């Protein structure tokens, strides 16, 4: 039986070779070469709720133009010629997320944000209302409806399902006798619930982190899909109220340059966003884990040196926090070991 099957396969391959060798030359020459695929066009969109959710500093002026509330509040620091300072109405194609991201990384914007937080308090999401102002006013029926929508939104986000399926998922919940209400059952509703949920998570994290006596950070520098450097930051500590180990993802931060100074600044910016001041970090931060790249473990200009050393390069800022342990990630070491073993 096996020999018969092998003979059949051999005959098929022989026939295929004959067919390919007997193709007329004229037929081959008349085939047009494949055209290269066109480059993807920039993603231009209309101004939507996603812009306000992703960039908390965005607001809409009375004349309908989009502006940065940080830079508008402090005109002596910002540049009046910038689009988000004088007001921007987009282009004929709409709004591009990259324009918002570029403005967010500019130095004068960061300075205006620091002045805002120093004088006017913490930046809150201008789409989702503060939880503390309305949580006591909602009815049990609306509470059940909100919980169902948060569960649906969280499932789509964690399972990497398209947000357009939000309405269909709520329809399925409704068939299962869950209270889903009659409003905000489309993509717009998904964005609203997502914004409220993100603020709830951030509020819970702030409350938990304030009670931590000690904590450590784990950082990993990489790039996003566009090739821009970004840093992933997570925190580990013990919840003093529950007595449990907490591992929380603080999020991704885009850094201007993939160097130790930008990485250090992104760490403190992300900690401040989660309610951990520099003074709190000085008292409670005990360790940081990272891979063995020179930007992290460099003895003179790496992240380790900027944290532990008191002095060095005159152009760099050193903290002198010698008590903080800077540990090389065990998983990265194991990966390097396995790569070396695979070459033997």
Per residue in 317-339, pLDDT (tens digit) is 999 999 999 998 888 888 888 88
Q: Is the pLDDT of residue 210 over 60?
A: yes
22 Rama sector, left if φ>0, alpha if ψ -120 to 50, beta otherwise: alpha
194 Rama sector, left if φ>0, alpha if ψ -120 to 50, beta otherwise: alpha
Residue 65 is predicted with a pLDDT of 87
Confidence of residue 265 (pLDDT cuts 50, 70, 90): very high
DSSP annotation of 313 reads -
Chain-centroid distance, C-alpha 73 = 27
CB within 8 Å of 82: residues ≥ 6 apart: 71, 103, 106
Fold of 212-342: Nucleotidyltransferase; domain 5 (3.30.420)
Rg (CA), the chain: 27
Element (H, E) at 215: strand 215-223
Confidence of residue 3 (pLDDT cuts 50, 70, 90): low
Asked if 318 and 282 touch (Cβ cutoff 8 Å), the reply is no
Residue 29 is predicted with a pLDDT of 43
Q: Rounded CA gap, 146 and 135, in Å?
A: 11
Closest CA to 291 of 302, 277, 280: 302
Domain assignments of the chain as residue spans, ordered by start: 44-88+98-119, 131-207, 212-342
Q: Rounded CA gap, 179 and 197, in Å?
A: 18
Over residues 60-66, the mean pLDDT reads 80
Asked if 85 and 103 touch (Cβ cutoff 8 Å), the reply is no
Over residues 4-13, the mean pLDDT reads 57
Which is more confident, 329 or 37? 329
Confidence of residue 11 (pLDDT cuts 50, 70, 90): low
For residue 203, give both structure tokens: 């509020």
The label of the residue with tokens 């070491």 reads: 333
């Amino acid at each position: 039986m096996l020999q018969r099957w092998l003979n059949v396969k051999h005959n098929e391959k022989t026939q295929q070779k004959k067919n390919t060798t007997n193709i007329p030359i004229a037929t081959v020459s008349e085939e047009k070469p494949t055209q290269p695929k066109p480059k993807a066009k920039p993603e231009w969109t209309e101004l939507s709720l996603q812009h306000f959710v992703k960039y908390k500093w965005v607001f809409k002026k009375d004349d309908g133009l989009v502006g940065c509330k940080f830079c508008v509040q402090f005109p002596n620091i910002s540049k009046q010629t910038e689009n988000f300072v004088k007001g921007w109405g987009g282009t004929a194609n709409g709004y591009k997320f990259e324009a918002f991201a570029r403005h967010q990384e500019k130095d004068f914007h960061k300075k205006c944000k620091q002045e805002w937080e120093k004088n006017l308090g913490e930046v809150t999401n201008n789409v989702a209302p503060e939880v503390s102002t309305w949580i006591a006013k909602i009815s049990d029926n609306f509470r059940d409806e909100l919980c169902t929508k948060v569960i649906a939104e969280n499932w789509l986000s964690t399972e990497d399902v398209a947000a357009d399926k939000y309405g269909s998922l709520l329809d399925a919940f409704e068939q299962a006798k869950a209270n889903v209400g009659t409003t905000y059952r489309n993509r717009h509703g998904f964005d609203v619930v997502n914004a409220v949920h993100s603020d709830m998570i951030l509020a819970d994290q702030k409350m938990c982190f304030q009670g931590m006596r000690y904590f450590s950070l784990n950082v990993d520098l990489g790039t996003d899909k566009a090739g821009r450097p970004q840093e992933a930051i997570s925190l580990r500590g013990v919840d003093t109220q529950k007595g449990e180990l907490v591992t929380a993802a603080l999020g991704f931060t885009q850094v201007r340059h993939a160097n130790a100074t930008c990485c250090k600044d992104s760490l403190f910016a992300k900690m401040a966003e989660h309610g951990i001041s520099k003074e709190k970090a000085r008292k409670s931060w005990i360790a940081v884990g990272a891979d063995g790249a020179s930007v992290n473990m460099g003895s003179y200009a790496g992240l380790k040196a900027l944290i532990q050393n008191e002095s060095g390069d005159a152009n760099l800022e050193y903290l002198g926090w010698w008590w903080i342990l800077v540990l090389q990630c065990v998983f990265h070491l194991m990966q390097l070991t396995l790569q070396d073993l695979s070459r033997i």
